Amino acid sequence: MEEIPKCIICGNPIQYKTSKGRYDKHFCSKACECTKEGKALVQKIIEKTKENRYGNPYYNNHEKYINTLLERYGVDSPLKVKEIE
């Protein structure tokens, strides 16, 4: 049997699925996720993920996005892509 993860805010077993249809890893409900602690934790997780992935917790994907646009379409704005299509 799979172990049911517990909510880090209230300690209840997590039976709440995210919009992607997967069980949330940290919260039992949207209400817990939206608490001050919950939000702070989500922010921390995001920063940790970015740090692991990019070596910078405050990495902004915008630059990469622009680079992708430039590579693919030769433009620096998604609005310009529309014009091309």
Three-class DSSP category at 14 = coil
Contact segment (CB under 5 A) with Zn ion among 2-10, 17-25, 41-49, 59-67 equals 2-10
Position among 24, 32, 33, 38 found at the interface with Zn ion (CB under 5 A): 32
Contact segment (CB under 5 A) with Zn ion among 22-30, 37-45, 59-67, 72-80 equals 22-30
Q: Which residue is it, tokens 């001050």?
A: 36
**Residue 14 lies near Zn ion (rule: CB under 5 A):** no
Q: Is 38 exposed, middle or buried (0-12, 13-18, 19+ CB in 10 A)?
A: buried
Position among 10, 45, 46, 81 found at the interface with Zn ion (CB under 5 A): 10
Handedness of CA 51, 55, 58, 64 (dihedral sign): negative
Interacting residues toward Zn ion by CB under 5 A: 7, 9-10, 12, 28, 32
